[in-house]
Structure 1
Amino acid sequence: MKAPNKKRKNRYFHYQKEILNTISEPASFINRNYRYVFVNSAFNTFYNKETSEIIGKTGADIFGKDDFESKIKPQLNNCLAGEPVFMQYEGELPGGEFKILKLNFYPHLKSTGKIDGIISTSTDITEQKRAENALRENEARLKELNATKDKLFSIIGHDLKGPLNNILGFSELIEEGYDKHSPEDIRHYNKLIYRLSLTVSDLLENLLTWSRAQRQKISVTPQNIALSYIIAKCFSVLEQNAIKKQIRLKNSVHPETIIFADEEMITTVIRNLISNAIKFTNRGGTITISTKNENGRVLIEISDTGIGISKEQLSHLFEPDENHTNLGTEGEKGTGLGLIICKDFIEKNDGKLSVSSKPGQGSVFTVSLPAEKHETHKVQ
């Protein structure tokens, strides 16, 4: 009686193998010792393994010993306990190609109801996951662009329109009542007009720069540049602003400090950071620029003795969809746009921007950029 039973079992297993061979996805039968008893032709093709290379072996030969022990084997144990398992695996296959797989493990029951192994199938979802990730990145980018658009409209509709209306208003007061106002009044109105004009000019410059960057009209051309020269150039542009508030600008950067970056972009960054520091520093304060060398990078620190930034404001400082800007120490207006440009430009130059600050204790903006790059010459 045993021979017919054995023959029946072999016939049954033969049918199972035939069924698995009709499946277009890699399929296999794994026994309770985690060893392959059967693999279909799709398995051979996908994993680049001949049947003779895999029968009697474990998944360690497919997924590597570490991944098999830590990721696959625990799930096989769950399946052998009677639970179908569906898992995602990411890693390199025997050919060295990185794949993302959906692995399905189904407990196989004998006629007695006892589990004698596992039927496993796998699906390559690498491209699907890449497409999903690309879609998520595009959605995040679209959200950022929408926030950018909203920010631009907010700036144009409020921050730009407001100062222009004030300029027109004060100009009208002077024009219509020139003979009625004292020289002191006219001087006061001119001072306000001048200050508002500077705000509008600064804002327009940032708007145009940022608009070009968003439309990918600005190309990054990094080169070795003397940082001290950039700072001196920015100081000369902003010197009058600092003098009016009796603020000392201190360049503590060594003349031989060289960074590898796009000169125009980094000039824009440094100018914006110094301008911000002037806005939020009280009369008689000091703004210092210094550097540190760290692991092939130059850390540029723009520190001030200003009013500082609260913890809540710090968390939103570089977000285009937030409006957490404050007036400067003498009523100077800001939109936060300059800092967003700074972050964007620095990242385009393989850099990072960070800030540390406490209310009443000033702020330190730190820019990390690649240090000088030396040309390599081939030996003839």
Structure 2
Amino acid sequence: MEYSILVVDDQPDNIKYISLLLKEMELGKKIYSAPNGKIALGLAEKITPDIILSDWEMPEMNGLELLKALKQSAKTKDIPFIMISAVKVDAVSMKESFDAGVHDYLKKPFDKLEFMARVSATLKLQGAYLKIKKNNDEIANQALLISKQHEELKKLNKLKDNIFSIISHDVRSPLATLDGLLQLFDDDQHILSEEELREYTGVVRLELNKVQTLLDNLLYWAKSQLANMQDTKSNVDVYEITQEVLSLFEERTKKKKLNLHNNIDPDYVIYADKNMLSFVIRNLLANAVKYTLDEGIITINAEFLMDSVKVSIKDNGIGMRSETLENLFKDRTVDTQTGTSGEMGTGLGLVLCKDLIEQSGGSISVKSVSGEGSEFIFIIPYNT
């Protein structure tokens, strides 16, 4: 096997002799030379030789100074270094050299066979070191990959558990209600009056709306978790998208005679994820409608900061109990606080909002006083 070798000595005859020995050993793929440590240092950074053979006593920068400088660079610190000296042959000097990181030490004049044996042994040891280092790097990379796969598997298992939990509890419950109503409709012994029919039809519509909203939230969230929310940003009119969301609640707000005020400046366009923004506003508005008393007030405001938009949805509803407030935005928990019209909540929507907002680099917070209302505030970055 041939190597790239750097020979450093201020005596040209020494360089010539060492080069001849290396060629005789059939090691010299490329043999470079330098008259002192300063030139050798620059050359080593450039060519990264497989081994350096250096004299100690040289002008400008001696062999020991060269060795210490090489150890300071990540590119050259692992190059095997053999010190060759006719002067620094005492035990103290040799110890100083080995402490600095020299791989071997030869005294001038050296025996030809000894020289060949020392150089061969150093190269073999270096080859073994590099092989071990390569294996260790591969093992470290494999360990990192396995760790990432393990974390991804944990994430998928958690997603699976959440989906199954939601389906088993939150989807089955309204479906069971619908099944009971259908059985009532099929009961020949019980003829429904027009008033009862209207009442039960309203319940069916409410339960179907609940299932649809829940499934929409669940599917959007699951997609975001699995796909890591690919960048789908576009120019978004915040006022317009808020108006679109408000139209979805028209029937419910009329029924409760709520006053909704969209105070966002019209025609203000930001570069953001429209689906994510719509999803968050829809869930927070649904929360406000659910917990606001008849003829209550809900206001939506936006403040445009330097590189983000701050949106708040405020209501004068029933507010939240302290224990409910403490559990918001945590891993999915069932919200036992019913709405002002008996609506049941799961707390899922708020958890999903938090996940999506944080994925976009934003944040969400809430202010609430029991009996006085709540205000949800979220901030998301955007590019105009």
Q: Which residue of 2 aligns with 1:356?
A: 366
Task: State whether structure 2 residue 212 is matched by structure 1 residue 201.
Answer: yes
Q: Which residue of 2 aligns with 1:238?
A: 249
Summarize the Cα distance change of 1:286–1:351 in structure 2 as closer, same or farther, 3 Å threshold. farther
Question: Equivalents in 1 of 2:155, 2:64: separation in Å?
Answer: 52
Task: State whether structure 2 residue 178 is matched by structure 1 residue 152.
Answer: no
Task: State whether structure 2 residue 251 is matched by structure 1 residue 251.
Answer: no
Query: What's the RMSD between the two structures over aligned residues?
Result: 4.1
Larger CA Rg, structure 1 vs 2? 2
Task: State whether structure 2 residue 289 is matched by structure 1 residue 278.
Answer: yes
Deviation at 1:281, TM superposition (A): 2.0
Report Cα offsets for 1:245-267 as digits up to 9, x if no partner. 22221101001322221222321
Question: Equivalents in 1 of 2:292, 2:100: separation in Å?
Answer: 67
Residues 259 and 369, structure 1, Cα contact 8 Å, conserved in 2 = no
Q: Which residue of 2 aligns with 1:70?
A: none
Corresponding residue pairs, total: 283
Q: Which residue of 2 aligns with 1:297?
A: 308
| Residue type at the aligned position of 2:214 | L
Question: Equivalents in 2 of 1:181, 1:333: separation in Å?
Answer: 26
| Residue type at the aligned position of 1:241 | R
Q: Which residue of 2 aligns with 1:369?
A: 380
Summarize the Cα distance change of 1:94–1:286 in structure 2 as closer, same or farther, 3 Å threshold. farther
Q: Which is richer in helix?
A: 2
Structure 1 unaligned residues grouped into runs of 5+:
1-40, 64-92, 96-115, 374-380
Q: 1:183 aligns with which of 178, 185, 194?
A: 194
Structure 2 unaligned residues grouped into runs of 5+:
1-43, 55-60, 76-95, 102-132
Residues 147 and 320, structure 1, Cα contact 8 Å, conserved in 2 = no
Residues 362 and 381, structure 2, Cα contact 8 Å, conserved in 1 = no
Identity %: 32
Task: State whether structure 2 residue 339 is matched by structure 1 residue 336.
Answer: no
Question: Equivalents in 1 of 2:332, 2:138: separation in Å?
Answer: 33
Q: Which residue of 2 aligns with 1:378?
A: none
| Residue type at the aligned position of 1:148 | L
Deviation at 1:194, TM superposition (A): 1.9
Report Cα offsets for 1:324-362 as digits up to 9, x if no partner. 4533222212223322332333344x3413122234132
- The residue correspondences of 1:1-380 to structure 2 (distance < 5 A) are 138-177=149-188, 180-216=191-227, 219-324=230-335, 326-348=337-359, 350-360=360-370, 361-373=372-384
Summarize the Cα distance change of 1:371–1:312 in structure 2 as closer, same or farther, 3 Å threshold. same
TM-score by length of 1: 0.61
TM-score by length of 2: 0.60
Give the secondary structure class of the aligned counterpart of 1:358: strand
Question: Equivalents in 1 of 2:295, 2:268: separation in Å?
Answer: 28
